[in-house]
């Protein structure tokens, strides 16, 4: 008994010591109030604290205006969102973000709470999916130059534009993240990453109106695993080549994911008449389940939405070391596989292994199209590889 009592006292003493060293900053605002100023004040104080700190947003609904939480901070910082923060539902033009985290090292965001972008009114006026000359709408959550970070157990609901945008990040993990918006909500990409190194997206559910995960230029070492996507536009590398000064993309791995009822599946898209000459390499898709997915496998080097480019000039984006392995399930249209590479720069070292995609529509059977590529084939191929005449890709 004496030994047991001593160990218990020592254990309690350790817990008390840890609690004393971890400072908690509460926003101190009642549910229903606007917490923009209170949150910024709490974050600023926590950021300058000499010990690890937590900013606490308790359960309840709160209003939250445009906010930037910027480091560097003295020690690692956590934001525990337990409640729901709601954006202004009115259309906000010219704004680039709603909530932004910038220049923070050792950052955590968790707590099981919700970022509600209140995007319904904005979607009705959004024409960015039809023209580039459109009014900007705010991205719900931006992570700019955030390093050694873990985002876990949060929900993004009804973003006006992208749900989550990541740029300039290093060693960042998203896990158990839920993203939800209607299938008809335009430009509501789930998680967009670019110009970052070492990003993981794990065990997450993304159901939205655009790409579930989209990869921009300069992305290196992205690992996506156990993500369920749909509805939406699938998982996309690109589009690449629209702007000058773009950077190479490399080390992309999409594994053990499920796509359901999406407009596209696994897609790589580059612009013809590209404004730059870059390389996208080492891109691998493996062990993917498809459930009524249109255009399940698509390389499109003539990506030109709404004909806003010169298709007569071939893409100058080089695609190297691409693989699709163990891709199986059902297609929502007959275009099961389309590998449409550029004339000037044919895709090199493309591998396909154990492809089994079925289509039961009246206009079937499923097709497998190839242009400017000679893929290496392994295992079974259903439909038969490169057996169909080439048709134009979808918009």
Which sequence positions are flagged as catalytic? 233
**Sheet strand arrangement including 191-194:** 67-70, 97-102, 139-144, 164-167, 191-194, 213-215, 235-240, 266-270, 297-300, 335-340, 367-371
- Please answer whether residues 148 and 107 qualify as being in contact, where contact means their C-beta atoms are separated by less than 8 angstroms: yes
Q: Distance between CA atoms of 227 and 191, rounded to whole angstroms?
A: 12
Q: What are φ and ψ of residue 232, in 5° steps? A: 150, -165
Q: Are strands 164-167 and 191-194 parallel, antiparallel or unpaired?
A: parallel
Compute CA distances 9 → 1, 3, 15, 17, 18, whole Å: 12, 10, 10, 12, 14
- Please answer whether residues 349 and 373 qualify as being in contact, where contact means their C-beta atoms are separated by less than 8 angstroms: no
**Partner residues linked to 371 by β-bridges:** 340
Q: Distance between CA atoms of 216 and 196, rounded to whole angstroms?
A: 9
Q: What are φ and ψ of residue 79, in 5° steps? A: -110, 120
Compute CA distances 345 → 115, 291, 348, 386, whole Å: 43, 33, 9, 19
Q: Distance between CA atoms of 270 and 225, rounded to whole angstroms?
A: 24
């Amino acid at each position: 008994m004496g030994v047991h009592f001593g160990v218990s006292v020592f254990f309690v003493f350790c817990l008390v010591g840890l609690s004393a060293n971890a400072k908690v900053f509460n926003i101190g605002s009642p549910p229903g109030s606007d917490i923009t100023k209170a949150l910024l004040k709490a974050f600023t104080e926590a950021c300058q604290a000499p010990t690890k700190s937590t900013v606490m947003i308790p359960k309840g609904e709160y209003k939250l205006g445009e906010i930037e939480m910027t480091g560097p901070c003295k020690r690692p910082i956590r934001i525990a969102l337990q409640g729901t923060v709601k954006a202004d539902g009115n259309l906000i033009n010219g704004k680039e973000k709603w909530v932004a985290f910038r220049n923070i090292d050792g950052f955590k965001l968790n707590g099981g709470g919700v970022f509600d972008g209140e995007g319904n009114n904005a979607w009705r006026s959004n024409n960015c999916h039809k023209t580039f000359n459109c009014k900007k709408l705010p991205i719900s959550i931006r992570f700019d130059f955030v390093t050694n970070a873990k985002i876990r157990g949060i929900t993004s609901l009804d973003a006006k534009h992208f749900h989550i945008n990541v740029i300039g990040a290093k060693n960042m993990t998203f896990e158990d993240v839920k993203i939800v918006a209607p299938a008809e909500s335009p430009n509501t990409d789930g998680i967009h990453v670019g110009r970052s190194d070492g990003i993981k997206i794990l065990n997450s559910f993304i159901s939205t109106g655009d790409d579930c995960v989209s990869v921009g230029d300069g992305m290196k070492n992205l690992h996506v695993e156990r993500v369920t996507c749909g509805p939406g536009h699938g998982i996309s590398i690109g589009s690449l080549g629209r702007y000058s000064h773009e950077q190479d993309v490399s080390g992309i791995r999409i594994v053990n994911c499920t796509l359901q009822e999406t407009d596209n599946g696994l897609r790589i898209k580059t612009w013809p008449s590209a404004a730059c000459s870059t390389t996208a390499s080492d891109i691998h898709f493996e062990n993917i389940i498809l459930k009524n997915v249109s255009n399940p496998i698509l390389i499109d080097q003539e990506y030109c939405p709404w004909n806003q480019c010169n298709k007569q000039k071939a893409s100058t984006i080089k695609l190297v070391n691409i693989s699709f392995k163990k891709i199986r399930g059902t297609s929502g249209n007959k275009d099961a596989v389309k590998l449409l590479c550029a004339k000037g720069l044919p895709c090199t070292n493309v591998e396909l292994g154990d492809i089994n995609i079925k289509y039961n529509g009246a206009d079937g059977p499923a097709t497998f199209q190839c242009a400017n590529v000679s893929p290496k084939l392994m295992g079974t191929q259903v439909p038969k590889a490169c057996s169909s005449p080439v048709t134009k890709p979808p918009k």
